[in-house]
Amino acid sequence: MGCVTASGQRFRRAKPLERQDHILIQLYCEGGYTGDLNGEEARVGSGDITIVDLAKPLDTVAAPLTNLNVMLPRESLEQYSSLNGWHGLQLVPERREFLASYLMSLYRRLPVTPQAEAHDLARITRDMILTAVTHDVDAQQRAEPAAHGVLRERIRQYVEAHLNDPALAPDYICRIVGVSRANLYRLFEEEGGIARYIQFRRLAAVRRCLENPDETRGIGDLAEQYGFGNPSHFSRRFRALFDISPRELRQHSRESCATTLGPLIRRLGR
């Protein structure tokens, strides 16, 4: 797997190359290409995932681009699925988003991945691709743990980015992400369900604010911003989670800051 950034590219193969044994999966983060893949017109843009059978004819021209590339040996796929029709295939949005999330996560993880895990990652990646491209049942079962991890991380990132959105709730996330309520609960079962997870992350966000000595907003205003309309309920949940009241935490943080900065300010004033 690798990342390519280029000001432009031209690829051309006029005849089939039977000895070429690679299947290329490309995620275009920026840019794209136009051209001909074995007689079929191709037009690929930013965000698209496309598949190229490198044994078949192609003629493509790309503008400035950045893409992620996964090269898989033909034999690693042929034993599980027919590759007829893969050349030039572009994934539909639902499958594209699923596979794109996995590929980007994989690329970020690779620099710190031990060499001993390479074989397992290659197998998981093959199964994720088979699941996205062919809905292969066996591959889907093999890839299920990794797929759940990708989906959970996607939801986690969405929650973190929308903690102060009043609409953030289980049903809303189901519609945005495209999962059932039951599956959403199972993904966050260890946290007591998605609703409990959202509440925990919101309480943690308020705590970060209260620990910031430069934060001047009132505790009630902070609670309301993060979805707690009832101040008493907020205070009870906060104390239950952190074993300290919001007011006590703010006071402790300010006193700690004053204790730390006081001697420094006096030294600077000399």
pLDDT at 266: 41
d(CA 150, CA 143): 11
With bands split at pLDDT 50, 70 and 90, how would you rate the model's confidence at 163? very high
* More confident site: 156 or 84: 156
Encode pLDDT of 64-101 as tens digits: 889 888 888 877 776 666 677 778 788 877 778 878 88
Domains of the chain by start residue, with CATH: 162-262 (1.10.10.60)
- Looking at the chain, the whole-number percentage of residues with pLDDT higher than 70 is 85
Task: Please work out, in degrees rounded to the nearest 5, the angle formed at the alpha carbon of residue 114 by the alpha carbons of 133 and 139.
Answer: 20
Helix (H) or strand (E) holding 33: strand 33-37
d(CA 158, CA 19): 45
pTM exceeds 0.75 for this model: no
What would the mean pLDDT of 169-176 be, rounded to a whole number? 86
For residue 88, what is the DSSP state? T
Task: Please work out, in degrees rounded to the nearest 5, the angle formed at the alpha carbon of residue 188 by the alpha carbons of 186 and 189.
Answer: 60
